[in-house]
Every structure is written in C-alpha cells, then in structure tokens.
Amino acid sequence: MAKLYFRYGAVGSAKTLNLLAVAHQYERQGKRVLVLKPAFDTRFSAVEVVSRAGLHRSADRVLADGEVPPSHIAADADCVLVDEAQFLTEPQVEALRDWTRALGVPVICYGLRADFRSRLFEGSLRLLELADSIEEIKTTCAWCNRKATQNLKYVDGRASIDGPSRQLGAEERYQAVCYRHYREQLDAARDAGEKSADGLGASVAPGGARV
C-alpha cells in the first residue's frame, strides 16, 4: 500500500520549496503529480503554490473548507502533494489517507505542526495520527543557531499569543524560533506591556521590530 507522509517544519523552513522540488522530480520522469492546497491559504496566491524563494506553480485543485476531495481526481496520479496541510480538516486528511489504500498513490503533505500558541492544528493533529511517515524539515531559530521548533507571532512588533489559530502571514508576522527564545520573547512582551504605562523601553526583535 502507498504511504501517507507528513513533512512538517516551522515557518520559513522551505516546506513549499521542498514540495515544488518533489513535483519537478516526478514530472521530469514523465509522471503525473496532483498538487492540492486549502482555499484558506491566500497569503501569496489563491490559486498557486508559492515558495518564499520565488518559485511557484498552479494548484491542480484548491480545497474549500469542508470539501472532501473526490478520489477520481487522483485516479491517474503518480503522487499527490499537499501544501499548507495544517489547514486541512479531519475529513479531508482521512480522505487522503484512504487514497493511499484505494488508489495506491502516495500522498505527501507539507505544513506546520503547531500554531503560534504551540497548539496543534486540526489537520496536523490528524496527520500525526494517521501518517505512515512523519519527517521534520529543519530550520534555525531567528535569534540563535538552535533548531527552530516554535512559530512566534508578532503584532505591532510585539510577540503575542492572541487571536485565532488560523492567521495568514509571512516574515512580517511570524518568526521561527527555538523554545527558549519563544518563551523569552513572550515574557518580554508581557513585561513591556506591564511597563508601557511607565514609558520604559522594550527589547528589539529580529529585523528591528520592538517587542
């Protein structure tokens, strides 16, 4: 039976670039690739899969929230690639899992594991439960050379865990950080908020943002 893969990493870890490279390799061999993405992901394009490195390609199907993709769209595919898989719903992940059994086609999903609150996304949780292979795509912390494991969100230049789990953004909003700096930046933002009435300064985030 073909496998379901979940390849996850923090923001900016080249997940989409990895997906595009895999698609290129299959197509160079004359094989058909089916590229999917959730409709929620409109960060760079509503209809394309776009890497921060500038590479892009059209998605073969954009999955609306709640849409369970029919198996016939993958009937002649040699591989299915899914970008931003954290935004998938449980039924969508389960449908992809079933494709590997019923169609014998490998499905490779790329996405974040957890949100800026360090909580699993719905799609990522189900992928962790069902995937045959779970692989981490690594990158380093924005503040040091440790491996980044957390996604830190900034609001008006200050680290924050407020707001809904699903929020689009790139480097202007999110930083990949190790757990040490994740906690330090959240603590600094909390302390700065408490001291702001006294006019005291705050620390400076990567890129010059103040937190």
- Number of Cβ within a 10 Å radius of residue 135: 14
* Residue 84 annotated to the active site: yes
Name the maximum alpha-carbon separation found in the chain: 65
Token pair for 193: 């908020």
List the one residue out of 2, 38, 184 whose CA is nearest residue 121.
38
Tokens found for residue 44: 């760079």
* Nearest in space to 42 (alpha carbons), one of 175, 174, 172, 170: 170
Q: Which of 27, 48, 67, 84 is catalytic?
A: 84
Task: Pick the closest to residue 135 from 18, 26, 1, 34 (CA basis).
Answer: 18
The sign one gets for the Cα dihedral 168, 70, 55, 9 is positive
Residue 61's φ and ψ, nearest 5 degrees, are -155, 135
| Residues assigned a catalytic role | 84
